[in-house]
Amino acid sequence: MQNSYIESLHVKNVRQFSELNVKFNKGFNFIAGPNGCGKTSILACISHCFNYNNILYSRIGEGAEFWTDLTSKDEKLRFGFGTGTFEVKGYRNTSLKSWNHAPSDEGRKTILSHDVSNSAEIFCPLFLGANRSIKYKQISGMQREQTRDQTLNAYSNSSTQQLHGDHQQDIKQWFVNRYFMIDKPWAIEERINWEHMVNSLPKIGPFDSDFSYIRTGKDLEPIFSIYGEECYLEELSSGFQAVLSIIANIFEWVEGSRPDGDRKVTEASGTVLIDELDLHLHPEWQFTLRNGLEKIFPNIQFIVTTHSPHLLASAQQGEVIVMPKTYGREIYNLEPSSKMYSGWNTDQILSEVMGVRSLDNKQYEQLVSKAFECVENGLVLELETAIDNLLLVAHPSDTIVMVLQAKLAAMVATKND
Ligand SMILES: Nc1ncnc2c1ncn2[C@@H]1O[C@H](COP(=O)(O)OP(=O)(O)OP(=O)(O)O)[C@@H](O)[C@H]1O
Ligand SMILES: [Mg+2]
């Protein structure tokens, strides 16, 4: 059961937001909207609530304030900073003026995130930026894993960097460490997690791909298999690298950020925030990824941004947050839409949910409206030409073309009577 998750974010005068309030649900949250509307900025603002060190990544306005309300092990908390905390001197030049608490809220404890290790101990979300390619690195052996305190500090300090591609977690070392430790009697939770990961990979891969971990050789190079062919970690195609790095990062985070006895991935709750989840993925995989992640990480909250109508079509009810097209000096109040888009087709999601305006101008749409004009005006020859043109661009089993063909047949029959 999810007993640790982010409930909402409040921001004033940070980045382009004069005021932003977003509510999240406990499970999946897909933030969609056009380029530049502020999706990545929402994730960055959340990261600032847990650690002020990276505030230089955001332009701060006078009177800036931001906090995140969350539940941590059933306790209601508010993390962040009240107005007057920061002094703005110029671009990338913001300093701390005084430690000001976020305002209190009944039944909720307010936490000033100035003691980073202390706040990460209470709640440590994982941020994954849009850069997911795995660069080659030679591993020379097992590396002693960091203590929990060091790990928490590292996650907290690198959260905004992760989002902006300035920091990446080392998943290859994690794989090699597992190879050395997995059969040791003390590696109880690591073994359970490892087996869960190895069993899950073939299930999350696209149909027929049989994505699997095979072995790690004497040269300490982990080997995988896709479509029946073995390949090294860095040889995996971008899509497989993207999904593998998300999954391995989450395993590493669960194991590193929790105390012993609390590190089983299937039971872990907490929040993972991913920028552009659909990156590099074929539409089929975009469509199945949500359920795949939910199976591997059943209790984890995901807050992800996306440009993919397929990912949105896979969302359950109350999981899609649509950001408006225009922005400026206005107040944003966003929350997951109560709608479910599984029955919508891609065009409908693109135009009505994601605000894509140019669909009406597509050649197909123009030809269809021209054909219907011919029907209305009884122009048989012109309708025939319009249908021929449509057949060149339409799907072979397009129902509108079939309707037009039936209308043409009826018009020809009437004319011949
Ligand atoms: N560090 C920053 N400080 C101030 N404003 C910023 C900063 N970064 C981005 N912005 C503003 O926020 C706007 C939205 O940027 P953001 O990266 O959040 O968009 P996005 O929705 O993630 O777009 P995309 O889909 O292209 O990734 C930018 O156009 C810019 O005006
Ligand atoms: Mg972005």
Q: What is the pLDDT of residues 340-359, one digit of tens each?
A: 887 788 878 887 788 777 66
Which of 11, 16, 330 maximizes ligand 1 atoms within 8 Å of its Cβ, making it the mutation to test the pocket?
16
**pLDDT score at 147:** 92
Share of the chain above pLDDT 90, in %: 66
- Name every residue whose Cβ is closer than 8 Å to that of residue 201 and which is 6 or more positions away in sequence: 211, 212, 213, 224, 244, 247
pLDDT of residue 144 exceeding 80:
yes
pLDDT of residue 116 exceeding 80:
no
To the nearest whole number, what is the mean pLDDT of the chain? 90
**Best CA proximity match to 313, nearest among 365, 353, 359:** 353
Least confident of 58-67, 90-99, 177-186, 374-383: 90-99
Distance 207 CA to ligand 1 centre (A): 35
**pLDDT score at 115:** 75
Strand order of the β-sheet with 270-274 is: 126-128, 270-274, 300-306, 28-32, 320-322
Which residue has its alpha carbon closest to ligand 1 atom 10? 15
**pLDDT score at 416:** 77
Structure token pair of residue 5: 């998750």
Which residue has its alpha carbon closest to ligand 1 atom 28? 36
Closest ligand 1 atom, residue 14 Cα: 4
C-alpha distances (whole Å) from 164 to each of 17, 124, 239, 334, 385 are: 18, 18, 20, 23, 52
Structure token pair of residue 188: 């109880």
Mean of pLDDT values over 131-144: 88
Banded model confidence at residue 336, pLDDT cuts 50, 70, 90: very high
Distance 170 CA to ligand 1 centre (A): 27
Provide long-range contacts, Cβ within 8 A and 24+ apart, for 211-214.
211/240
Closest ligand 1 atom, residue 57 Cα: 1
Helices (H), 167-263: 171-181, 188-204, 238-257
Q: Angle CA(399)–CA(400)–CA(402) in degrees, nearest 5?
A: 65
User: For residues 206 and 252, what is the distance between their CA atoms, to the nearest angstrom?
Assistant: 23
Strand order of the β-sheet with 222-226 is: 212-216, 222-226, 229-232
**pLDDT score at 325:** 67
Closest ligand 1 atom, residue 37 Cα: 21
Count the neighbouring beta carbons within 10 Å of the beta carbon of residue 157.
16
Provide long-range contacts, Cβ within 8 A and 24+ apart, for 383-389.
383/407, 383/408, 383/411, 384/408
Cα 375 from chain centroid (whole Å): 46
Element containing residue 414 per DSSP (H, E): helix 399-416
Closest ligand 1 atom, residue 33 Cα: 21
Mean of pLDDT values over 173-194: 94
pLDDT of residue 1 exceeding 70:
no
Which of 37, 39, 41 maximizes ligand 1 atoms within 8 Å of its Cβ, making it the mutation to test the pocket?
41
Which residue has its alpha carbon closest to ligand 1 atom 2? 58
Which residue has its alpha carbon closest to ligand 1 atom 18? 38
Provide long-range contacts, Cβ within 8 A and 24+ apart, for 215-222.
216/175, 216/176, 216/179, 220/139, 220/140, 220/141, 220/176, 220/179, 221/139, 222/172, 222/175, 222/176, 222/179
**Best CA proximity match to 14, nearest among 24, 115, 49:** 49
User: For residues 335 and 346, what is the distance between their CA atoms, to the nearest angstrom?
Assistant: 22
Which residue has its alpha carbon closest to ligand 1 atom 31? 16
Contact by Cβ (8 Å): 286, 311 = yes
Which residue has its alpha carbon closest to ligand 1 atom 4? 15
Which residue has its alpha carbon closest to ligand 1 atom 5? 15
Share of the chain above pLDDT 70, in %: 97
**pLDDT score at 271:** 98
Distance 119 CA to ligand 2 centre (A): 26
Digit-coded pLDDT (tens) for 22-58: 999 999 999 998 888 899 999 999 999 999 888 999 9
Which residue has its alpha carbon closest to ligand 1 atom 27? 35
63 φ/ψ angles, rounded to the nearest 5 degrees: 70, 25
pLDDT of residue 232 exceeding 80:
yes
**pLDDT score at 243:** 93
Closest ligand 1 atom, residue 44 Cα: 18
Mean of pLDDT values over 241-255: 95
User: For residues 410 and 408, what is the distance between their CA atoms, to the nearest angstrom?
Assistant: 5
Least confident of 37-51, 143-157, 172-186, 315-329: 315-329
Distance 378 CA to ligand 2 centre (A): 50
Banded model confidence at residue 74, pLDDT cuts 50, 70, 90: confident
Nearest bound ligand to CA 31?
1
Ligand 1 cavity residues, CB under 6 Å: 15-16, 33, 35-41, 57-59
Question: What is the rounded (10 degree) CA torsion for 158, 41, 64, 88?
Answer: 70
pLDDT of residue 327 exceeding 60:
no
pLDDT of residue 360 exceeding 70:
no
Closest ligand 1 atom, residue 307 Cα: 25
pTM, entire model: 0.89
User: For residues 90 and 213, what is the distance between their CA atoms, to the nearest angstrom?
Assistant: 50
pLDDT of residue 142 exceeding 80:
yes
